Structure 1
Amino acid sequence: MPADWILHVDLDQFIAAVEVARHPELRGCPVVVGGSGDPTERAVVATASYEAREFGITSGMPLRTAAKRCPDAVFLPSDPPAYEEVSERVMLVLRSFPVVVEVIGWDEAFLGVSCDADEHPEALAEDVRGKVLAETGLSCSVGIGDNKLRAKLATGFAKPAGVFRLTRDNWVEVMAHRPPDALWGIGGRTATKLGALGITSVGELARADKAALAERFGPTMGPWFRLLALGIGDKTVEATPYVARSRGRELTFQRNLTDRSEIEEQVATLARRVAQDVRAEGRPAVRVGVKVRFAPFVTQTRSVTLPEPTAEAGDIERAALAVLSRFEHGRPVRLLGVRAEFHRPDTKD
């Protein structure tokens, strides 16, 4: 449904906050979650508490690097089932309000709000923050917008534990001077390519020539980047439950793999485990991807669309091995991953 206001609720340092709630003695300490919780092993940071982030620790960073930056940090293993359980509790709290709730991940959701002209969405946002805190013990930030893009970006200005409104009225003031990758949907690589065109700010991207953008980024993506810079986004919030878009498994090796047959064996094993997850999900896979992290820390991904949707282990394994063959051979491998993607009903075939 189109909403008068859209609120984006984002739980603050969600995984770390769940762990601190389970271990209150860690409150105020630098906490890093990832892998088995052993910083001497090869694994990456899933999340870090704000105290740990002050040392420059970020998600995706090797645990060993995190340990060097903050030797006194507390390292904990990742526990996805626990995070899912807490997430469900939070979403139940959000559904207790007179809003439409669209869950988009463990730790975030859009709320579609219909209200009278004299009502202020900030009041609702504060009520949401208060109730989530009271019933789950977790802090959240709330972005308010007149579409999903602006609400999502507003949350970044609200963190931590705040409320911020970003609409057409203050879009230029807040966003025009920021780099293009401040936008939701534009990453660092795209920002670099835009910079090569002389576009170094959101304001410049909003004024960019559509034809030039289409020529550089394609007829779909180029103009879309310009729409992002103008703050144009979806205004519809759908009351649909969160549905996983994919299931994946990955494994970091304590010693680099160099033998091709061993690499293939590991990918086959991961693919069979993913197939089990796919069957448990009850939806067939339509695409299979493989991730390879070469030593020292170069990550590449490849994927292929399956001839037809399937949950058969043999089909997923063969597809994963076919994708693996597209990678460069002969380089030491420190991590392998296999992912099966499901059909998304909101996209066109």
Structure 2
Amino acid sequence: MPRYIAHLDMDAFYASVELLRYPELRGRPVVIGGGRRHQPEVLADGTRRFAVLRDYAGRGVITTATYEARALGVHSGMGLMKAAALAPDAVLLPTDFDAYRHYSRLFKAAVAEVAPVIEDRGIDEIYIDLTDVPGAQEAVGHDPMGGVRAVALAIKNNVKRATGLSCSIGVTPNKLLSKLCSDLDKPDGLTLLRPGDLATRLWPLPARRINGIGPKANEKLLGLGIRTIGELAAADPAWLVQHFGARYGAWLHEAAHGRDERPVVTYSEPVSMSRETTFERDLHARHDRELLGGIFTRLCEQVAADLTRKGYVGKTIGIKLRFDDFKTVTRDHTLDHPTADAQAIRQAAGQCLKRVDLKRRLRLLGVRVGSLRKAGEAPPLPPARTLRPAPLAAQEPAPAYTLPLFEEAPEQETGPR
């Protein structure tokens, strides 16, 4: 019985959600990645005025963009100032992750109504095992894959009905090929890889299209004269091992030939949960204390809300700081007992900040909770006063300047002693 694995990828997901909210922007180049100040302004006549890239100033980056914006050379991860030079009239919208998570839950529930064996790979993509879905193994006329095509179309239609959004699906014998194929006919695509299609459809593609070949590996392949997946497939396995090592070299050979035996994993426990934000401008620990303090508190509250919503607690509280020289620093602090309480997270994260030199300006701040376990499996929470800072490592110098605002204020006692 053939194995049918699908990879479903929502089309320009964040941007598509925003177009549901602002349908007048359909057909226009739109970029997602602005801040709160880029919320559309409602005018007296009921129409909306939108921010445009030409007026942007700052160091934010693009989260995603519509296909019209991508046609102008704009793409995810690009700096907004650079994008403004390419598409000055593109509309700029702020990110709204609550809305994106809502639509993520909707589309996954819609898929599960047709095919329940799903591996969650993020907010906008999943793997689906279609092998045992009723009708998937049936031929339609002279098409042996007609049944699985009908199942994939039913999934696409269900997602459209539930969300108003389109998705692209690749169906192949394994996850590696399906991930590659879901991107071939975007947007609103459906790509089925038939036996014998590997050489004609995939081998002419650049080797970097294989998920797992990153920029450094691709640069090395190019230096060795390998540009396409077909050229990689034709390379001698021993030669690949010589240049890339035993494990990665062997994987390159297998991947180029479309071999992947990984199963669709329906559930895995998260290792950690985190929230972080990049500032519109560099912030100084002393001069921007109030602003930083508010951001710090909000990040802790957001992580706590994520933990509570998903039913987890964690013992390891960490912070992530990126300075104006792009140096990134992390610090962790392990509690005696796991928690999902925002105040406890903030207090422990504040202890981490005492171990960082904050003389330079900050461009990014993040909070993380790790060593997760299900809330029901955790022992009772201790009183807040049991929280104490982890000892400094012997080789770690004392910070020259810390940010007192990030520390918790002493508890106020009330009532008779």
TM-score of the superposed pair, with normalisation by structure 1: 0.78
**1:130 aligned partner, one-letter code:** N
Larger RCO: 1 or 2 (CA < 8 Å, sep 6+): 1
**Pairing of 1:243-262 with structure 2 (within 5 A):** 246-256=272-282
Shift of 1:318: 5.8
Q: Give the match for residue 261 of structure 2.
A: 234
Is the CA contact (8 Å cut-off) linking 1:12 and 1:161 kept in structure 2? yes
Shift of 1:93: 0.9
Shift of 1:124: 1.6
Shift of 1:58: 0.8
Match of 1:152 among 171, 179, 195: 179
Is the CA contact (8 Å cut-off) linking 2:270 and 2:372 kept in structure 1? no
Shift of 1:34: 1.0
Is the CA contact (8 Å cut-off) linking 2:319 and 2:349 kept in structure 1? no
Shift of 1:112: 0.9
| Structure 2 CA distance for aligned equivalents of residues 286 and 219 of structure 1 | 35
Q: Are 1:47 and 2:73 counterparts?
A: no
Q: Are 1:129 and 2:150 counterparts?
A: no
Shift of 1:94: 0.6
Q: Are 1:290 and 2:317 counterparts?
A: no
- After superposition, the Cα gap between the structure-2 partners of 1:3 and 1:333, relative to the gap in structure 1 and judged at 3 Å, is farther
Shift of 1:290: 3.4
**1:57 aligned partner, one-letter code:** V
Is the CA contact (8 Å cut-off) linking 1:3 and 1:112 kept in structure 2? no
| Structure 2 CA distance for aligned equivalents of residues 74 and 163 of structure 1 | 29
- After superposition, the Cα gap between the structure-2 partners of 1:332 and 1:73, relative to the gap in structure 1 and judged at 3 Å, is same
Shift of 1:206: 2.9
Q: Per-residue displacement from partner, 1:238-257 (whole Å, max 9, x unpaired)?
A: 333x8655433333334435
Is the CA contact (8 Å cut-off) linking 1:286 and 1:340 kept in structure 2? yes
SS at match of 2:263: coil
Shift of 1:80: 0.5
Q: Give the match for residue 137 of structure 2.
A: 116
**Pairing of 1:124-273 with structure 2 (within 5 A):** 124-166=151-193, 169-214=196-241, 216-240=243-267, 246-256=272-282, 269=296
**2:279 aligned partner, one-letter code:** F
TM-score of the superposed pair, with normalisation by structure 2: 0.67
Shift of 1:47: 0.9
Is the CA contact (8 Å cut-off) linking 2:303 and 2:368 kept in structure 1? no
| Structure 2 CA distance for aligned equivalents of residues 283 and 65 of structure 1 | 40
| Structure 1 CA distance for aligned equivalents of residues 280 and 321 of structure 2 | 17
Q: Give the match for residue 10 of structure 1.
A: 9
Is the CA contact (8 Å cut-off) linking 1:30 and 1:50 kept in structure 2? yes
Q: Per-residue displacement from partner, 1:290-336 (whole Å, max 9, x unpaired)?
A: 363646xx6x66768988996564665666877x78xxx99865334
Q: Give the match for residue 27 of structure 2.
A: 28
Shift of 1:15: 0.6
SS at match of 1:92: helix
Q: Are 1:92 and 2:109 counterparts?
A: yes
Q: Give the match for residue 91 of structure 2.
A: 74
Is the CA contact (8 Å cut-off) linking 2:323 and 2:363 kept in structure 1? yes
Is the CA contact (8 Å cut-off) linking 1:10 and 1:141 kept in structure 2? yes
- After superposition, the Cα gap between the structure-2 partners of 1:243 and 1:47, relative to the gap in structure 1 and judged at 3 Å, is farther
**2:253 aligned partner, one-letter code:** R
Shift of 1:132: 1.7
| Structure 2 CA distance for aligned equivalents of residues 124 and 316 of structure 1 | 48
| Structure 1 CA distance for aligned equivalents of residues 32 and 271 of structure 2 | 23
SS at match of 2:121: strand
**2:218 aligned partner, one-letter code:** A
Count matched residues.
Answer: 335
| Structure 1 CA distance for aligned equivalents of residues 353 and 236 of structure 2 | 41
- After superposition, the Cα gap between the structure-2 partners of 1:340 and 1:213, relative to the gap in structure 1 and judged at 3 Å, is farther
**1:192 aligned partner, one-letter code:** E
- After superposition, the Cα gap between the structure-2 partners of 1:288 and 1:63, relative to the gap in structure 1 and judged at 3 Å, is same
Is the CA contact (8 Å cut-off) linking 1:180 and 1:200 kept in structure 2? yes
Match of 1:57 among 63, 74, 78: 74
Is the CA contact (8 Å cut-off) linking 1:8 and 1:142 kept in structure 2? yes
SS at match of 2:78: coil
Q: Per-residue displacement from partner, 1:58-96 (whole Å, max 9, x unpaired)?
A: 111122222232222221111111111111111111111
Which segment drifts farther, 76-85 or 332-341? 332-341
Is the CA contact (8 Å cut-off) linking 1:10 and 1:142 kept in structure 2? yes
